[in-house]
């Protein structure tokens, strides 16, 4: 098939997976995208990948952002990228909801750090599946299989022959006591997932989170915050009311 001169032809083997990963992550660096798509580093492939990401950015498939404090540019899905993914993926591609936070410094840091956490967990071999926030939101808005909240992720962890599914929330900055009261009420109505794992970036945030939930949660709710080896983050696991899903231990 011949294409008009100057037309951008996407590669199903390189461009589409990169665009899809950016859509799922919200914001990501080129190095993160490369690691997510290439388990083994190859310098020539890395240089080729960088050139292709640059072209996708120039043609508005990706949006390149420079964020204070970050050593490398960050990429978000552009309008052309969203149009190209529509019809190619089983989930609905919506550029609007993600755009509402695009360029917001806290939102960008949240996405990049959460994506980095996922890469490290996958590298450690403890994750068997990861459902991203846009996919969760699509289920909640367009299907009868609804979670109580648009979680940051639904993750299935594995340890040997055992596995467990949890909802994952990355709490990078504190909310108000009123907001935690509202969230506690939402989580108590969850029926699809039995555990919600809150990831925090320091001990102070962990203490604040535990305190915020403890004031508004029924006695049956247990909170804990053991550190996870190999990362600088900490976690607080909030056990919801029993449901059919298996709880990660």
Residue with the larger pLDDT of the pair 96 and 155: 155
What are the structural domain ranges in the chain? 1-103, 125-249
Query: Which of the pair, 191 or 1, is modelled with greater confidence?
Result: 191
d(CA 192, CA 166): 10
pLDDT tens for residues 1-34? 454 555 678 999 999 999 999 999 999 999 999 9
Task: Tell me which residue has tokens 């990501």.
Answer: 28
**pTM, to two decimals:** 0.81
Rounded Cα–Cα distance for residues 227 and 249 (Å) = 14
**Residue written as token pair 């950015």:** 57
Q: What is the mean pLDDT of residues 183-205?
A: 84
Question: Region 225-249: what's the mean pLDDT?
Answer: 40
Q: Which residues contact 204 (CB under 8 A, 6 or more apart)?
A: none
Mean of the pLDDT values across residues 97-115? Answer: 74
Give the per-residue pLDDT at 193.
87
Cα angle 194-195-198, degrees, rounded to a multiple of 5: 160
Range 174-182 average pLDDT: 82
Q: Which CATH number fits domain 1-103: 3.40.50.10420, 1.10.10.10, 1.25.40.10, 1.10.3720.10?
A: 1.10.10.10
Predicted pLDDT at 6: 58
In this prediction, residue 108 carries a pLDDT of 93
Q: Is the predicted pLDDT of residue 215 greater than 70, yes or no? A: no
Does residue 194 surpass a pLDDT of 90?
A: no
Nearest to 238 by CA among 132, 148, 106: 148
């Amino acid at each position: 098939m011949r294409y008009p001169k100057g037309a951008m032809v996407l590669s199903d083997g390189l461009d589409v997976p990169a665009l899809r990963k950016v859509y799922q992550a919200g914001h990501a660096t080129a190095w993160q995208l490369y690691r997510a798509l290439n388990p083994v580093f190859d310098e020539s492939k890395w240089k080729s990948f960088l050139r292709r990401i640059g072209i996708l950015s120039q043609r508005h498939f990706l949006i390149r952002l420079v964020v204070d404090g970050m050593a490398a540019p960050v990429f978000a899905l552009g309008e052309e990228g969203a149009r190209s993914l529509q019809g190619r993926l089983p989930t609905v591609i919506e550029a609007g909801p993600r755009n509402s936070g695009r360029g917001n410094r806290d939102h960008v840091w949240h996405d990049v750090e959460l994506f980095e956490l996922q890469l490290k967990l996958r590298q450690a071999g403890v994750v068997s599946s990861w459902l991203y926030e846009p996919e969760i939101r699509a289920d909640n808005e367009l299907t009868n299989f609804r979670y109580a909240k648009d979680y940051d992720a639904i993750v299935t962890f594995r340890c040997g022959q055992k596995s467990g599914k949890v909802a994952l929330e990355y709490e990078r900055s504190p909310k108000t006591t009123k907001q935690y009261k509202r969230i506690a009420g939402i989580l108590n109505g969850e029926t699809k997932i039995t555990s919600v794992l809150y990831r925090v970036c320091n001990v102070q945030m962990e203490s604040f989170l535990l305190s915020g939930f403890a004031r508004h949660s029924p006695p049956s709710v247990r909170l804990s915050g053991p550190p996870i080896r190999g990362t600088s983050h900490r976690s607080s696991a909030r056990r919801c009311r029993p449901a059919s899903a298996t709880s990660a231990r």
